[in-house]
Amino acid sequence: MSTPLLEINDLHARVEDKPILKGLSLTVNEGEVHAIMGPNGAGKSTLSYVIAGREGYEITGGSIKFRGQEITEMNPEERAAIGLFLAFQYPIEIPGVGTATFLRTAVNEQRKARGEDELDAIGFLKAMRAAAKPLNITDEMLKRAVNVGFSGGEKKRNEVLQMTMLAPSMCVLDETDSGLDIDALRVVADGVNALRGPDKGFLVITHYQRLLDYIVPDFVHVLADGKIVKSGDKSLALELEKTGYVDIQQGLTA
Amino acid sequence: MVAVDKTKEQVAALGEKYEHGWASDIESDYAPKGLNEDIVRYISAKKNEPSWMLDWRLDAYSRWLSMDEPNWARVEHPKIDYQDAYYYAQPKSMAEKPKSLEDVDPELLRTYEKLGIPLEEQKILAGVEGYERKVAVDAVFDSVSVGTTFKKELAEAGVIFCSISEAIQDYPDLVKKYLGSVVPVTDNFHATLNSAVFSDGSFVYVPEGVRCPMELSTYFRINAENTGQFERTLIIADKGSYVSYLEGCTAPMRDENQLHAAVVELIALDDAEIKYSTVQNWYPGDADGKGGIYNFVTKRGLCAGRNSKISWTQVETGSAITWKYPSCVLRGDNSVGEFYSIAITNNRQQADTGTKMMHLGKNTRSRIISKGISAGRSDQTYRGLVSMHPNASGARNYTQCDSLLIGKTCGAHTVPYIESRNPDAQIEHEATTSTISEDQLFYCRQRGIPEEEAVTLIVNGFCREVLQQLPMEFAVEAQKLVGISLEGSVG
Ligand SMILES: Nc1ncnc2c1ncn2[C@@H]1O[C@H](COP(=O)(O)OP(=O)(O)O)[C@@H](O)[C@H]1O
Ligand SMILES: [Mg+2]
């Protein structure tokens, strides 16, 4: 029996009075990797923000459950602490705050929220170095301010590092492949694959099927006009690659 | 709207959150209320001062009578009634000066213990794990110095560190030579008032070639009601010497405004360096602007000798009003002046602060890094003057003023004045204004960092260049203070 990790049911959400999600349903069970594909402006990033609880994204209907618990009233940090992680399409710069400091603050705030002891400096440093190495993240990069002056690839690797250190059970990756060359893509994908496990779930948002050659999904969904309009297995991604999103969008308006 | 209501509650609670807002139950002797020549005589007599000191004070007092309060700063307050305050308050137990810290009233010592200021030499300031360094403390309570630690060890190195009252008795020649030499008696209204009624403060002399073996610090505490504090500090670094000095300040929460008008003078001779750091956390008043300290301070350093250096670092989080411009007069050739500042205003606080860099000598250099953070309904101004005199060939200044706004009801202003009378001098000025973005907050929160902690983290990042200038022990404290000062500023 598969155990549901993330259950989204008939979700409606709007931004600044503009309806974006219009009845979206999706269930990710433990151990599954789902890919969401769709044209630009379909609402993919909006979905990721709504799942993570960003302010300004108003839920007007439906529900989001995490391990059976309704989370729509929880704030972003509470959702993070119970194991929800979002890798950003455009990671944010925080000038003056060292990457390691940021990471340690995040790890310890989450531990505090869960009633666990904070990690001491040495324990944290060891864990961080171990996680950083396979991602080709140097000590020098860990000292630099969060995402400031990072290349596109460095930013995405930094997202995967944070994901590794925070050990979430449900990861949403928003276009983690965008702006990456093939080598960087491989490093990032290896990092993600290393985190896959029987009790973890992934929602991989991407515009191109290329990423899915490296992070092979169990299910592929097409998001268009705020809804899942088609679901299938990996072959759906390949099919989309050939036909593009035009057919789907035409199918909608027809 | 829940978030908005929550913010309002937090803002309302902020006054109560001021960590050092408690008062000690200490019986004090006061000078009669108000200010007149007799009060000046009273203060001088209390300190058993020689006649030259009394004459100096009386001269200042008579000049003060004909002076006006400065009104050019961007701060507003009801007219101050200088007759409606006490100018001297001394704990009764200090009537007879204790010979050593062991003889000091335990209640007074407890005050400092509660503030986290160690007056027992075996205790060190709580700082970074595994990082221990000695810090000598002069503790000033209302109008008197309670005691100074590590005097003996400092004396062995030849360093004099005592209260200014003691220095007037024990080192009259040094005091006569330097007192008022950097901030003249008639410099400005507040400085002149201070010259007439100053009560206590610290005195430091570091002899030629000596690197002061530990950090020196003074901790100012205003406790008595309705009482002004007029600290006077004088630091002299003789040729080739080095000293790092830090001051901290707190006061109880009281509904009336209290005046703190300090004068600090620094003198650095040839090849000497003085590093002066301030963590100012006077009571800021409540959320509606009731109460709080008026912090009207004149601080100036004279780089008298060649290759001398004076560096001011300030973290200004407290006070209802801050009016303060730590400055450097760069007289010696190749001398260096620095000003690193963090000013945080929240609720109804007002700050008009900055620096003056007066380049007189050749190849003098100055660097100004100012970080202003405004939140709530507060208002702050960076006001800075860089002046290049005709002889200042090859002089250089670099100024960077960054303002960070939190919310939409606060204000930040930058007023740089530049005077260059030497075509060979270079002046560079950069200024930015930014806000904490919703993106940054969401990013932090998605990683599990709650909103208030996220603001603290982002603001500390914004201030990093300045925080790095503080001695390590105080950097940790200052970082915490940044968080506390901004509580309730977002939601
Ligand atoms: N903050 C916002 N304000 C107004 N409209 C927005 C905002 N964010 C996204 N949108 C709109 O919502 C739609 C979906 O955007 P998004 O979720 O970013 O799509 P995708 O990630 O699939 O490209 C677009 O039409 C976009 O213009
Ligand atoms: Mg997107």
The pLDDT tens digits for A159-174 are 999 999 999 999 999 9
- pLDDT greater than 60 at residue A20: yes
Mutate to test the interface with B, among A97, A99, A108, A111 (most CBs of B within 10 A): A97
**Residues on chain B touching A107 (C-beta within 8 angstroms):** 448
End-to-end CA distance of chain B: give it in Å, rounded. 10
B79 contact partners, CB below 8 Å, separation of at least 6: none
- Of all residues in chain A, the one with the smallest CA distance to B450 is A77
| B396 φ/ψ angles, rounded to the nearest 5 degrees | -140, 140
Provide the shortest C-alpha distance from residue B19 to chain A (in Å): 23
pLDDT band, residue B7 (cuts 50/70/90): very low
Tell me what percent of the residues of chain A surpass a pLDDT of 70.
96
Provide the shortest C-alpha distance from residue A144 to chain B (in Å): 11
Tell me the domain boundaries of chain A: 4-91+150-253
Residue B266 CA to residue B299 CA, distance in Å, equals 8
- Which helix (H) or strand (E) covers residue B374, if one does? strand B365-374
Closest CA to B369 of B273, B465, B461, B274: B465
Beta strands A33-37; B232-237: pairing state? unpaired
Bridge partner list, B321: B294, B350
- Of all residues in chain B, the one with the smallest CA distance to A52 is B446
Among B99-113, B123-137, B336-350, which range has the highest average pLDDT? B336-350
Closest CA to B244 of B485, B469, B489, B481: B469
Contact with chain A for residue B440, Cβ under 8 A: yes
Range B255-276 average pLDDT: 92
- Which amino acid residue places its CA nearest to atom 7 of ligand 1? A15
How confident is the model at residue B118, as a pLDDT? 66
Range A115-128 average pLDDT: 91
Measured between CB atoms, which of B3, B442, B458 is closest to A97?
B458
Residue B208 CA to residue A175 CA, distance in Å, equals 64
Which residues contact ligand 1 via a Cβ below 6 A?
A 15-16, 18, 20, 38, 40-46
Q: Residue A42 CA: which ligand 1 atom is closest?
A: 22
- pLDDT greater than 60 at residue B121: no
Range A10-14 average pLDDT: 96
Model confidence pLDDT, tens digit, residues B363-379: 999 999 999 998 888 88
A24 contact partners, CB below 8 Å, separation of at least 6: A8, A10, A11, A12, A43, A47, A62, A223, A226, A227, A228
A130 contact partners, CB below 8 Å, separation of at least 6: none
How confident is the model at residue A163, as a pLDDT? 95
pLDDT band, residue B19 (cuts 50/70/90): confident
Residue A157 CA to residue A166 CA, distance in Å, equals 14
- Of all residues in chain B, the one with the smallest CA distance to A89 is B443
How confident is the model at residue A112, as a pLDDT? 95
pLDDT band, residue B297 (cuts 50/70/90): very high
- pLDDT greater than 60 at residue B111: yes
Provide the shortest C-alpha distance from residue A224 to chain B (in Å): 25
How confident is the model at residue B490, as a pLDDT? 65
Q: What part of A 147-166 touches B (C-beta under 8 Å)? A: 162, 166
- pLDDT greater than 60 at residue B3: no
**Residues on chain A touching B457 (C-beta within 8 angstroms):** 94, 97, 101-102, 105
- pLDDT greater than 80 at residue B392: yes
- pLDDT greater than 90 at residue B399: yes
CA of A159: how far to CAs of A28, A103, A171, B254, in Å? Answer: 21, 10, 11, 48
- pLDDT greater than 80 at residue B485: no
How confident is the model at residue B85, as a pLDDT? 83
How confident is the model at residue B363, as a pLDDT? 97
Bridge partner list, A131: none
Range B314-342 average pLDDT: 93
CA angle B227, B230, B234 (to 5 degrees): 160
**Residues on chain A touching B455 (C-beta within 8 angstroms):** none
* Residue matched to tokens 């974006």: A20
- pLDDT greater than 80 at residue B131: no
Residue B349 CA to residue B354 CA, distance in Å, equals 16
How confident is the model at residue B8, as a pLDDT? 37
What letter represents residue A254's amino acid? A
**Residues on chain B touching A85 (C-beta within 8 angstroms):** 446
Closest CA to B284 of B297, B269, B294, B273: B294
Residue A98 CA to residue B282 CA, distance in Å, equals 30
Report the sign of the C-alpha dihedral through residues A82, A87, A93, A99, in that order. Answer: positive
pLDDT band, residue B229 (cuts 50/70/90): confident
Least confident range from A66-75, A90-99, A118-127: namely A118-127
pLDDT band, residue B491 (cuts 50/70/90): low
Range B258-272 average pLDDT: 94
- Give the Å distance between the CA of A161 and the centre of ligand 1: 27
Encoded tokens for B382: 């960076």
Model confidence pLDDT, tens digit, residues B236-245: 999 999 999 9
- pLDDT greater than 60 at residue A253: no
pLDDT band, residue B126 (cuts 50/70/90): very low
Contact with chain A for residue B444, Cβ under 8 A: yes
Among the CATH numbers 3.20.20.100, 3.40.630.30, 2.40.110.10, 3.40.50.300, which is that of A4-91+150-253? 3.40.50.300
Contact with chain B for residue A121, Cβ under 8 A: yes
From the CA of A41, the nearest ligand is 1
- Say whether B289 sits in a helix, a strand or coil: coil
Q: Residue A47 CA: which ligand 1 atom is closest?
A: 17
CA of A236: how far to CAs of A240, B36, B87, in Å? Answer: 6, 91, 84
Q: Are B111 and B250 in contact (CB under 8 A)?
A: no
pLDDT band, residue B29 (cuts 50/70/90): confident
pLDDT band, residue A231 (cuts 50/70/90): very high
- pLDDT greater than 70 at residue B353: yes
- Which amino acid residue places its CA nearest to atom 6 of ligand 1? A15
- Which amino acid residue places its CA nearest to atom 9 of ligand 1? A46
Tell me what percent of the residues of chain B surpass a pLDDT of 70.
89
| Neighbour order of strands in the sheet with B215-221 | B144-148, B135-141, B215-221, B242-250, B273-280, B309-316, B336-345, B365-374, B396-405, B426-435
How confident is the model at residue A145, as a pLDDT? 96
- pLDDT greater than 60 at residue B426: yes
- Which amino acid residue places its CA nearest to atom 11 of ligand 1? A41
How confident is the model at residue A247, as a pLDDT? 64
How confident is the model at residue B15, as a pLDDT? 40
Of residues A78 and A235, more confidence is placed in A78
What letter represents residue B46's amino acid? K
Q: What one-character DSSP code corresponds to residue A160?
A: H
- pLDDT greater than 70 at residue A202: yes
ipTM over 0.90: yes
- pLDDT greater than 50 at residue B328: yes
Q: Residue A49 CA: which ligand 1 atom is closest?
A: 17
- pLDDT greater than 90 at residue A73: yes
How confident is the model at residue B133, as a pLDDT? 58
Range B59-66 average pLDDT: 95
- In this complex, do A162 and B447 lie within 8 Å of one another by their Cβ atoms? yes
pTM of the model: 0.84
pLDDT band, residue B10 (cuts 50/70/90): very low
Least confident range from A250-254, B180-184, B407-411: namely A250-254
- pLDDT, averaged across chain B: 85
How confident is the model at residue B330, as a pLDDT? 98
Range B196-207 average pLDDT: 93
Mutating to test ligand 1, I would choose from A11, A17, A20 the residue with most ligand atoms within 8 A of its C-beta, which is A20
pLDDT band, residue A175 (cuts 50/70/90): very high
Contact with chain A for residue B439, Cβ under 8 A: yes
pLDDT band, residue A254 (cuts 50/70/90): very low
